[in-house]
Amino acid sequence: MTAAPDHRPTMSRAGLAERLGPHVPVLLIPAIMLFGLLAIPSMSSWLTLTVSGLAMGMMIFIMASGMTLVFGLMDVINFGHGVFISVGAFVGISILLLLGHMTEAPSLTLNLLAILAAVAAAMVATGVLGWAFERVIVKPVYGAHLKQILVTMGGLIVVEQMIIVLWGPEEIYLLRPEALKGAFTFWGAAVEKYRLLAVGIGLVLFLAMRFTLRRTKIGLIVRAGVENGEMVEALGYRLRLVFIGVFIAGSALAGLGGVMWGLYQEVITAHMGQHLMILIFIVVIIGGLGSVEGCFIGALLVGLLQNYTAFLEPKLALISNIALMVAILMWRPQGMIPVVKAK
């Protein structure tokens, strides 16, 4: 006689994994922060590194968010995205230098107004450059990835040389606005004022982008275009104009990120955008094509891991993000929160 089956209510491992699956990418952020807390002996050092990592991650997110939308919506591999970072930095910093009387004043209001003017000028300049870049360089090579890589890299080199012609080949050193210099002490940790500002701007931008994509009509069209562009066009929407708008917006966001990164490093060069492209591609790939949420999580992971690793073992900092990308792609080959399958 066979024994009766056990009908006690149980939760299968597969069911638990399915429930936790969507939340695992988000949980990686506190997991890395906990790892840093356990590995770093000093609480004040951990807090300082965490704020620095979050600030770095937010700025990388700002620069990468436009690219991930362009990548997901337009299927364009734009190796020239970094040039918008450089142009934005040079335009924005030039405006800040012209507004020296505002940046040198001890008033936080005047300092923020100067930064706002610099950011606005940088975003307008890079938005216009993005429109011209799409019309002249990207449009003829839609659907041809190898050609996209070649021509956008060529465009990057050309615009970098134009930057050198206009601003010179030398590095430009700068000082942050007076009210944003220095740091304040919190729980024994020195927290830089500018890094807190960067965290705030990045968080506000992420929430604004998420709201736009999820709660507005244009966001619905963009998300639908990522999923099935042919169906969106069949419904009568001019997806081509949406493509151009997203490309311009992505270029403008790169310009904003360039200004913020320049103030973060306090030095700008014509090749700064090209050097940042490694981090941006890592974030776009591990986040998932077309995913703003994935890009946000990936950027924070990159920023936190690089700061913790640089403190614990500086020699490993150069490869820490590559190791992170390899580990995540082995776990989820299409990225943490992919919107579309790789084309």
For the chain, what's the residue count?
Answer: 343
Q: What is the largest CA-CA distance in the chain?
A: 93
First-residue to last-residue Cα distance in the chain = 56
Q: Could you tell me the pLDDT band of residue 298, with boundaries at 50, 70 and 90?
A: very high
Q: Which residues pair with 173 in a beta bridge?
A: 267
pLDDT of residue 84: 95
Q: Could you tell me the pLDDT band of residue 17, with boundaries at 50, 70 and 90?
A: low
pLDDT, tens digit, for every residue of 238-279? Answer: 878 888 898 999 999 999 999 999 999 999 999 999 899 989
pLDDT, tens digit, for every residue of 54-111? Answer: 999 999 999 998 888 888 777 788 889 999 999 999 999 999 999 988 888 888 899 9
Q: Residues 214-224: what's their mean pLDDT?
A: 83
pLDDT of residue 44: 86
Contacts with 323 (C-beta within 8 Å, 6 or more apart), sequence order = none
Mean pLDDT of the chain: 86
Q: Is the pLDDT of residue 216 over 90?
A: no
Token output for 281: 């591609």
Residue 209: phi and psi, rounded to 5, are -65, -40
Q: 257: phi > 0 → left, psi -120 to 50 → alpha, else beta; which?
A: alpha
Say what percent of the chain tops pLDDT 90. Answer: 44
pLDDT of residue 106: 87
pLDDT of residue 22: 63
Token output for 170: 């030398």
CA distances to 69, 74, 139, 204 from 144, rounded to whole Å, are 18, 12, 10, 36
Number of H helices, E strands in the chain: 13, 4
pLDDT of residue 165: 93
pLDDT of residue 343: 45
pTM: 0.88
Q: Render 245-269 in DSSP notation, one character per residue.
A: HHHHHHHHHHHHHHHHHHHHHTEE-
pLDDT of residue 316: 85
CA distances to 30, 188, 296 from 49, rounded to whole Å, are 14, 13, 19
* Amino acid, res. 145: H
pLDDT of residue 16: 52
Q: Is the pLDDT of residue 342 over 50?
A: no
pLDDT, tens digit, for every residue of 153-197? Answer: 999 999 999 999 999 888 999 888 888 888 877 777 778 888 889
Give the pairing type, strands 172-173 and 189-192.
unpaired
Decide: 160 and 86 in contact? Cβ < 8 Å: yes
Between 23-27, 31-35, 273-277, the lowest mean confidence (pLDDT) is in: 23-27
Q: Render 106-141 in DSSP notation, one character per residue.
A: S-HHHHHHHHHHHHHHHHHHHHHHHHHHIIIIIGGG
Say what percent of the chain tops pLDDT 70. Answer: 92
Distance (Å, whole) CA 202 – CA 54: 9
